[in-house]
Chain A
Amino acid sequence: MRGSTAVGAGNGKVAVLSGKGGTGKTLLSVNLAAVAGGALYLDCDVEEPNGHLFFRPTDVREEEISVKIPTLDASKCTGCRKCVDFCKFNALALIRNKPFLFEEVCHSCGGCALVCPEKALGEKDKVTGRVQRGVSGDVAVHTGTLNTGEASGIPIIRNLLAGAAAEEKSFTFIDCPPGSACIVMESIKDADYCLLVAEPTLFGVHNLNMVYELVRIFHKPYGAVLNKCIGGENPAEAFCLEHGIPILGRIPFDSALGSLSADAKIAAREDAGFHALFSSLLENVREEVRRETASDPQR
């Protein structure tokens, strides 16, 4: 079993994910964090982080995140090409009898330095992004940002999660990247509960199915929130009912909510009605997290 699912006193880590992009992950996690009282909001969508645009955090501390890449001491290199042959990622090529590094495909495994018989390869840090930690009202806002041109946000997500473990918060909301690949798996690794946000479209349902598969592979308890509900037939709702996925709430398709979100305003802070909507949703989430973590702590 991966990760820890232990829950401290009243503390729950809730990952918000969706498969498809644009279904409302950030809307939901930002607003739940805003009404929870002393919550932590963790933006793990490091390729396109948006939560900070809503929270506009202050007192921001910034940390650079780096990975290791190889450096060459050319005077020691004999051009034996053992490093080039070892690299499974084809990040090294022998050019004029010396290894040349394609930084963007290097996975920082350290194998080339280990295999070099002349100790000609060392390692240095390469910055690939940053983590910013600030506050917005009573919400702690942690944001990871991958530098453009970099391939992997995983080291940034690891730093975010490690920093979150040190925080004593009522709730932690993890805003996940879209999709269901490695970067999403990393983001939900420490979560106690997964909230699946679904929109009522054929695409939405197809991708909901994928994250539904993912949370089951990782043995995470889960529930769904239906967003952009317009009344009438809702294929996402039908999917949840068919698969026994608990529906924790419904967010209506609402042009006022849409406009607030488009302008990066936190609906629950702007409008009493939306505050009530997200508060009642939060109560359902709290109840579910409590039930799931109490009834089956090994899940």
Chain B
Amino acid sequence: MKQLLILSGKGGTGKTTIAGAFIALSAARAFADCDVDAPNLHLVMRRTVEPKRSDYYGLPQAEIDPLRCRACALCQKQCRFGAILPGPAYRVDPFACEGCGVCELVCPAGAISLKPAVAGELTLYAGPERVFSTARLKMGSGTSGMLVTEVKKQMKAAAPDTDLAVIDGSPGIGCPVIASLAGVDMVLLVAEPSVSGISDMERIVKTARNFQTRIAVCINKYDTSPSNTEKIEAFCRREELPVVGKVPFDPAAVKAVNDGRTIVDVDCASGRAAKKVYRGTMQILFGQN
């Protein structure tokens, strides 16, 4: 299975719009939304099968037995996450607890134990033709990287024989992005022609390069700032990153998405450009082997 991951660094550059188009265009039988704290890809997918939902358990969370707690404050002193709240009996702030187990280790009264905690929900749409894996992190949970790994695992297990998987990533460069990068064959960066977008793209390129995966770039809304588009192209030449296409700003794209369709489901300028981006990407992903 070749895995293609779509990333951007900056949010809102069009990752999900491009991912939706790729899924519609490709024979991809496996796809996943790894943006677990703001998933959107399911909104443009035609889902014909009933989903299977399962609880996702992140790291366990500490719990203090108020009857055994002697309020000695040792746990609070040792907790690096500020997760222990003082009181007549001490309590754990579930939003701050990272489940490291230090409090349990240091408690002289044996009052603290780690309990499994549901940290999100995994959803799998497994039809005869297509498998779509997605998840949603529970509000207030911290283990988004682990959930991303689970989303990919679920996808691979449900569609082991498919040759292409398209994965929609999350913005930023931190733990969910790093988890999504592990093991992918290629990254397509969706860049935006703004000073902010260029700065963010440079940071995501650095992050992705740690994984020695192939990287290509497409420029979305390229016509909104020709000078910044030129800067992106110059950057890509310097860094030897292939630019696989440029997609124009297109009000029809917003309309398609709001109607729950992808940009290649309707005849529009951005959809036509996305087809070219798709062909260029597939050439790189499959052509060299």
Contact = CB atoms under 8 A, between A and B. Distances in A.
A19 B177 CA distance: 16
Interface of chain B, main secondary structure: loop
Contact of A114 (B96, B106, B171): B106
A21 B95 contact: no
A214 B95 CA distance: 12
Interface in A77-112: 86, 88-89, 104, 107-111
B194 A111 contact: no
A177 interface: yes
Contacts of B8: 21
Interface string A250-274: 0000010011011110000000000
A178 B195 contact: no
Contacts of B145: 151
Interface residues of B, number: 63
Contacts of B224: 255, 258-259, 262
Interface string A189-224: 000000000010111001100100110010000000
Contacts of B16: 203
Interface string B1-38: 00000001111110010000000000000000001111
Contacts of A165: none
Contacts of B260: 202
Contacts of A114: 78, 102, 105-106
Interface in B105-156: 105-106, 137, 139-142, 144-145
Nearest to B176: A181
A21 B10 contact: yes
A53 B172 CA distance: 17
Nearest to A207: B38
Contact of B11 (A21, A150, A182): A21
Interface in B78-94: 78, 80-81, 93
B37 A148 contact: no
Most buried by A among B37, B95, B96: B37
B9 A48 contact: yes
B257 A185 contact: no
Interface in B150-180: 170-178
B98 A151 contact: no
Contacts of B173: 47-48, 146, 148
Given A50-B200, A109-B100, A21 B258 contact: no
Interface stretch (B64-72, B202-210, B273-281): B202-210
B40 A207 contact: yes
Contacts of A89: 59, 100
B210 A149 contact: yes
A180 B142 contact: no
Contacts of B192: 22
A178 B40 contact: no
A122 interface: no
A20 interface: yes
A183 interface: yes
Contacts of B40: 20, 202-203, 206-207
Contacts of A179: 35, 37-38, 170-172
B38 A178 contact: yes
Contact of B95 (A2, A23, A115, A202): A2
B194 A150 contact: no
Query: Which 5 A-B pairs give the minimum distances between C-beta atoms?
Result: A21-B11, A22-B12, A109-B100, A264-B195, A47-B172
Interface of B: 8-13, 16, 35-38, 40, 43, 59-60, 78, 80-81, 93, 95-96, 98-102, 105-106, 137, 139-142, 144-145, 170-178, 192-196, 199-200, 203, 206-207, 210, 224-225, 227-228, 254, 257-258, 260
28 contacts: A2-B93, A19-B38, A20-B11, A48-B173, A50-B195, A68-B80, A86-B101, A86-B105, A88-B60, A89-B100, A104-B178, A109-B100, A115-B105, A149-B206, A179-B170, A179-B171, A181-B37, A184-B37, A185-B95, A201-B257, A201-B258, A202-B40, A214-B140, A217-B139, A259-B224, A259-B225, A261-B196, A263-B225
